[in-house]
């Protein structure tokens, strides 16, 4: 909430080469420069959202983009600090 754009690290540059995975060697890790893609943000308050459909369109698109980038479904997201401020997206049980 309140971000015009959200940067998402999608890869790393190490010695001029693009690497898709997080470097595991300490040397490569220290030389890695993140490569970001930006996604549209949203200004609407999401703390009262109780379902995925209650989220602003850009927030929904953000979650779907993260699922696509990671290749894994997102089970739940938090929309605030409280336990009751969690939205189940894909049942994980």
pLDDT for 22 equals 86
What residues have CB less than 8 Å from 82, skipping those under 6 apart?
A: none
**Taking the CB of residue 9, how many other CB atoms lie within 10 A of it?**
12
Instruction: Please state the rounded mean pLDDT for residues 37-58.
Output: 96
Q: How do the domains of the chain map onto residue ranges?
A: 3-88
3-88: CATH topology is Adenylosuccinate Synthetase; Chain A, domain 3 (3.90.170)
Q: Among residues of the chain, what percentage have pLDDT more than 70?
A: 97
Average pLDDT over residues 60-64: 97
């Amino acid at each position: 909430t309140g971000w015009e754009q959200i940067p998402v690290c999608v890869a790393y540059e190490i010695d001029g080469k693009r690497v898709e995975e997080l470097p595991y060697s300490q040397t490569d890790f220290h030389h890695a420069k993140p490569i970001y893609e930006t996604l549209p943000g949203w200004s609407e308050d999401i703390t009262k959202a109780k379902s995925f459909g209650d989220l602003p369109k850009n927030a929904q698109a953000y979650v779907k983009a993260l699922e696509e980038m990671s290749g894994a479904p997102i089970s739940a997201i938090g929309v605030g600090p409280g336990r009751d401020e969690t939205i189940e997206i894909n049942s994980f049980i």
